[in-house]
A and B are shown apart, each in its own frame.
Chain A
Amino acid sequence: MSVPYAPFKLGKYELRSRLFLGTGKYPTLEIMRQALEASGCHVVTVAVRRIEMGQQHAEALLEHIDLKKYILLPNTAGCFSAADAVRSARLAREALGVEWVKLEVLADKKTLLPEPLGTLEACQTLVKDGFQVLCYTSDDPIMARRIEEAGATSVMPAGSPIGSGQGVLNPNNLRIILETIKVPVIVDAGVGTASDVAIGMELGAEGVLLNTGVALAKDPVAMARAMGLACEAGYLAARSGRIPKKLYATASSPWEGLIEPAKRPAHDGIPGE
Chain B
Amino acid sequence: MTLTINGKEKTLHEALSVRALVDSLGLGEKRVAVEVNKELVVKQEWASRILREGDHVEVVTFVGGG
Contacts and interface: CB of A to CB of B under 8 A. Distances in A.
Interface string B25-65: 11100111101001010110000000000000011111111
Interface residues of A, number: 39
A47 B30 CA distance: 16
B5 interface: yes
Contact of B64 (A46, A96, A189, A209): A46
Contact of B60 (A32, A72, A95): A95
Contact of B7 (A48, A50, A74): A50
Contacts of A23: 64-66
Given A59-B61, A94-B42, A95-B33, A51 B66 contact: no
A39 interface: no
A58 B32 contact: yes
B2 interface: no
A79 to B, nearest CB: 12
Contact of A53 (B25, B30, B43, B64): B25
B8 interface: yes
A17 interface: no
A61 B31 contact: no
Interface in A95-114: 95-96
A220 to B, nearest CB: 12
Chain B, interface residues (CB within 8 Å), range: 20 to 34
A211 interface: yes
A24 B40 contact: no
Given A94-B33, A94-B40, A210 B61 contact: no
Contacts of B27: 51, 58
Nearest to A53: B6
Contact of B25 (A51, A74, A77): A51
Nearest to B39: A87
A22 interface: yes
A189 B66 CA distance: 9
A64 to B, nearest CB: 9
A96 B31 CA distance: 6
Contacts of A90: 33, 40
A239 to B, nearest CB: 27
A53 B62 contact: no
A178 interface: no
Contact of B59 (A50, A74, A163, A215): A50
A77 B59 CA distance: 17
Given A46-B64, A90-B33, A162-B66, 9 more contacts: A23-B65, A24-B66, A50-B61, A58-B61, A61-B63, A62-B62, A72-B62, A92-B33, A211-B65
Interface of A: 22-26, 29, 32, 45-51, 53, 56, 58-59, 61-62, 72, 74-75, 77, 87, 90-92, 94-96, 162-163, 189, 209-212, 215
29 contacts: A22-B66, A25-B66, A26-B64, A46-B62, A48-B33, A48-B60, A49-B60, A49-B61, A49-B63, A50-B58, A50-B59, A50-B60, A51-B25, A51-B27, A58-B26, A59-B30, A61-B63, A61-B64, A62-B31, A62-B61, A62-B62, A77-B65, A91-B40, A91-B60, A92-B62, A94-B33, A95-B60, A209-B66, A211-B66
